[in-house]
Structure 1
Amino acid sequence: MPHTQIQTARCAALVGPYLSGKTSLLESLLFAAGATTRKGSVRDGNTVGDSCAEAKARQMSVEVNVASFEYLGERWNILDCPGSVELVCETQNALMAADLAVIVAEAAPEKAVLLAPLFKFLDENAIPHLLFINKVDALGDLRVRDVVQAYQAVSGRKLVLREVPIREGGKITGFVDLVSERAWHFNPHKPSDLVQIPDSLKDREHEARQEMLEAVADYDDALLEKLLEDVAPETQEVYDRLAKELADDLIVPVFFGSAENDNGIRRLLKALRHEGPEVAVTAERRNVPADAAVAAQVVKTLNGSHAGKLSVVRVWRGTVTDGMTLGGERVSGIFRVNGHAHDKLSAAGVGDVVALGRLEKAATGDLLTDKGNQGKPELWPEAPPPVFGLALHAQNRNDEVKLTAAIQKLVEEDPALRLEQSTDTGELVLWGQGDIHLQIAMDRLRNKFNVSVKGVPPQVPYKETIRKGASHHARYKRQTGGHGQFADIHVEVKPLPRGSGFQFEDAIVGGVVPRQFIPAVEAGVRDYSVRGPLGFPVVDFAVRLTGGQFHAVDSSEMAFKTVARQAMTEALPGCEPVLLEPILTVSIAVPSDFTSKVQRLISGRRGQILGYDARPGWQGWDEVKAYLPQAEIHDLIVELRSLSLGVGTFTWSFERLQELTGKAADKAVEIRKEALAAQ
């Protein structure tokens, strides 16, 4: 078919679940395009992508891999995105820069639910996408149309089968293209051969072609009219309509093949070339300002221990040259990225994906123009809320100082990471999307910044309070030669309703405690309340200062602060101290098939189910709301994903403090005593 040469570079993102074969597909695309002479394999650890130590150790993608090649005179940039649900932020950021996405999925209907969040994100952001069903050599007796039907159940757009398989001896050995109506026979690791359509397949091919044309005609009245009048549309007209409806995110074309055997790869390349949108269309969809002479968007940020900061960008408009001012900063180096290889360039043109050096103020998502840094667009995806945390401790005490700075660089690279200095426990807690996510981050700290850390579950921010009040008299007297120390107070302690915090009342009359010493009494009580009789911060209690004595020479602010701490130390153990545990409001989202399992999960973790309803905007999904103790939430995401094929997620917020008694309370107090003793 005729094709107009496009001089600008285009970009496709490979996305899909873990183990679907995205990195293998990238290797096949590079091999088919002639960019490599030998395919690498994930198993052997010699792929263009997944070249970092963290990826090799896990044999999985842990970040977006960038690769580029030329195919029939056109430059393509491929963004190979990680498949792990814990690394979804990487994938979403990359998708915002792509002209279209290739969803790579296994020929396994039971795994269709894994694609629901991905289809949802693509449709919400109007990102054109096609589906490549990989590993069809392992399909067995299952029909391709049955696989497509399963995936249709989780797609908001119509899946349109573009080819039908040729089977010989129970195996798929080729395909018939439903537009050109030509047949091809697979040759492992070589281009396919053009063959005649088997007679036994002609009826099925005709049926499938009609289904394809009817799907396309749903959005084209002229084509629909031809079909109703039984007029065969021109082949070019069908190609044009398919390209238009793909670009408008109205349909999802479906192809199949085997990346492992290089089957169906050249057909996929041709579909990308002929039907994928151009960069100008994508730039308009992304609302890139038309008045910007030069515009580029940061897709990913990289911080090296020696190379400094690199900003991976997609160039939307103009030409980026080394040394120019972009986004208000001077570009110091332009690099074409191919896996771990960085080749220096003097300039990058429209559509290119390149790394720019030393843009210290640029952050992932920022739109950089010749007029300045326009910041992150309003529609740029938010990082998902954290669901798993670890308290980090440097294994070498000398690394404590540089630990925080190193983590901040990781957070700059990966917006799904969040660093928090806990005000309750004092711990440095790194939050993310799961245990794998944080283990990767800790490996990077060691590999890139030479900071070895250990991660442990964060302490639960328990509090304590009192159940009954008491009156107490305390005296502090010390004579050490010269001026002594003297302070005497009478206090009343009483519990307050939950959530009241701490209240202090001055009820002194007659000046028995001089005014200048009363703030010291309050300060002493506050000092003590940081660690009560059970070892936790004391809340929801009131202290009333009712009387006391002082000495004209020996009394001081320090003496009254000390006697106040002494009074609390003596009084509170007799006020029936009780542990308070934080209760969270948790909202768990899962496909409806797993709702009953989630309810059992909540009950097994001392939770209180508040109810469940359909998840807004998600067909076939439920949202279960519950109260859950914070002590039960640390590994909740691990079990939740285990029971929901990896797609379940949750959000949480603090609800209240609630009394905790019995074995659970005794255990919490014992652990606290051990932790304090170890300090």
Structure 2
Amino acid sequence: MNEKVKSGSRNVAIVGPYLSGKTTFLESLLFVTGAISRKGSVKDSNTVGDSAAESRDRHMSVEVSAASTEYNGIRFTFIDCPGSVEFAQETYNALIGVDAAIVVCEPIRERVLTLAPLFKFLDDWEIPHLVFVNKMDRANIHVLETLHALKAVSSRIVGGAVPKQYIPGVEMGVREFLTHGPLGFPIVDLSITLTNGSYHNFDSSEQAFKQAARLAMQTGIPQAEPTLLEPILRVDVTTPSEFTSKVLQLLSGRRGQILGYEGKNDWQGWDNVSAYLPQAEMQNFIVELRSLTLGVGSFHWEYDHLQEVPEKLAERVIHSNNK
């Protein structure tokens, strides 16, 4: 049991996937409670949460940061946690010491499904949490799909032959398996239905049903032929026209899909190049870009979708991860 001390102050973590808007959400909290007089923006690199130089350069949180405010006589310290997977351990370490958590997500079903490991951690440590669905003003959002997904990799569990007290054990076994699937990574985009089962009045237990659910998943999931997915970003690069061909080569060499390029409005002699680029290929991208453009090239990126990893690369990733 994770005991929380009641007092006049609260430590609250703000967590969620990268680019879900956590830092902007924190900025709004600080503004409406009077802690700051104006809201900054991630794009302008002047937010309270992303104060580190690397965070501002990459337009994303790369470390845990904190900011305090007061509301209704209670002092709140908000812990802004990075959302990118490479910083997951820092987020988990910060969560252990908080009183509650706010999970920020976008109304995009595929992104919501990636929250399963985070929700499991919050449940395992009995950390009270609520979900804030951000960016609801965007076009083409699907509210019902988002709500169904929030119910952490859909669990439509029924079953008349299994006593109700054992259903949570089944769900727990499923959820634990989904955090580390047969390919060595969390599983998303699936639905689980318990249609039948049997029990014994004396030998059955929640732990037994939990183990049975894990065994069923170990048998069933490989038969579904799971594939390895990776996050794909939309990248917009600004470069002098004389370096555009080099930028195109840079993007293509990093498994990028070129969407096109055109002259930049009101910037004579400059081009804007658009492409899809796997997040895994972003490491040192800014360094190479600056090197190719005499230090003046820049880029903006945002999450776009999940995509299947090429077969040969997937084999190498899975083999390396399972060592």
Structure 1 residue 602: deviation in Å?
1.1
CA positional deviation for 1:616: 4.0
1:382 aligns with 2:47: no
Matched, 1:428 2:77: no
Identify if the C-alpha distance between structure 1 residues 428 and 589 changes in structure 2 by more than 3 Å, giving closer, same or farther. farther
* Correspondent of 2:256 among 607, 625, 633: 607
Matches within 5 A, 1:42-441: 375-376=37-38, 382-383=44-45, 385-387=56-58, 420=82, 422=84, 426-428=88-90
Which of 203, 211, 218 is the equivalent residue of 1:562? 211
Partner of 1:595: 244
| Distance in 2 (alpha carbons) for counterparts of 1:377 and 1:426 | 27
**Separation in 2, partners of 1:380, 1:633:** 19
In structure 1, give the amino acid aligned to 2:187.
V
Aligned CA RMSD, in angstroms, stands at 3.7
Paired residue secondary structure (1:623) = strand
| Alignment partner of 1:631 out of 262, 280, 298 | 280
Q: CA deviation at 1:560?
A: 1.4
1:381 Cα deviation from its structure 2 partner: 8.8
2:271 to 618, 622, 632: 622
Match of 1:308 in 2: none
Out of 622, 634, 640, which is 2:289 matched to? 640
C-alpha contact 1:520 1:560 (8 A) present in aligned 2: yes
- Helix, strand or coil at the partner of 2:194: strand
SS in 2 for 1:426: helix
Is the partner of 1:564 in helix, strand or coil? helix
Distance in structure 1 (CA, Å) of the matches to 2:284 and 2:85: 22
State the match for 1:504 in structure 2: 155
Deviation of 1:584 (Å): 0.9
Distance 1:603 1:516, change over 3 A: same
The structure 1 segments of at least 4 consecutive aligned residues displaced by more than 6 Å after TM superposition are: 377-381, 388-392
Q: Please name the residue that 2:233 is paired with.
A: 584
Alignment of 1:415-564 (within 5 A): 420=82, 422=84, 426-428=88-90, 502-508=153-159, 511-564=160-213
Question: What is the CA-CA distance between 1:386 and the residue it aligns to?
Answer: 3.7
Structure 2: gaps (5+ residues): 1-33, 47-55, 68-79, 92-110, 115-147
Is 1:615–1:621's contact at 8 Å kept on the other side of the alignment?
Answer: yes
> Between Structure 1 and Structure 2, how many residues are aligned?
215
**Residue 569 and residue 662 in structure 1: after superposition, are their counterparts in 2 closer, same or farther (change >3 A)?**
same
**Larger RCO, structure (CA 8 Å, separation 6 or more):** 2
* Contact persistence 2:178–2:186 (CA under 8 A): yes
Residues 62, 87 of structure 2: 8 Å contact kept: no
* Amino acid of the structure 2 residue aligned with 1:609: I
Return the alpha-carbon distance in structure 1 between the equivalents of residues 265 and 166 of structure 2. Answer: 59
**Contact 2:42 2:59 (8 Å CA) reproduced:** no
Residue equivalent to 1:658: 307
Identical-residue share of aligned pairs (%): 44
Which protein is bigger by CA-based radius of gyration? 1
Q: CA deviation at 1:554?
A: 2.5
Q: Distance in 2 between matches of 1:549 and 1:424?
A: 42
**Contact in 2 for aligned 1:388/1:635 (Cα 8 Å):** no
User: Per the alignment, do residues 425 and 376 of structure 1 end up closer, same or farther by CA in structure 2, a change over 3 Å counting?
Assistant: closer
TM-score scaled to structure 2, two decimals?
0.57
**Partner deviation per Cα, 1:630-663 (whole Å, 9 max, x = no partner):** 1111111111111001111111111111112332
Structure 1 residue 519, shift from structure 2 partner: 3.0
Shift of 1:502: 2.4
Q: Aligned AA for 2:227?
A: V
Q: Could you say which residue in structure 2 is the equivalent of 1:232? A: none
Aligned to 1:152: none
In 2, Cα distance between equivalents of 1:502 and 1:619: 49
The correspondence for 1:573, drawn from 216, 222, 229, is: 222
Letter in 2 for 1:420: P
Q: Give 1:377 deviation, angstroms.
A: 7.6
User: Residue 540 and residue 621 in structure 1: after superposition, are their counterparts in 2 closer, same or farther (change >3 A)?
Assistant: same
CA displacement, residues 486-519 of structure 1 (integer Å, 9 cap, x when unaligned): xxxxxxxxxxxxx9782233342xx311122223
Deviation at 1:558, TM superposition (A): 2.3
How far apart are the structure 2 equivalents of 1:599 and 1:420? Answer: 30
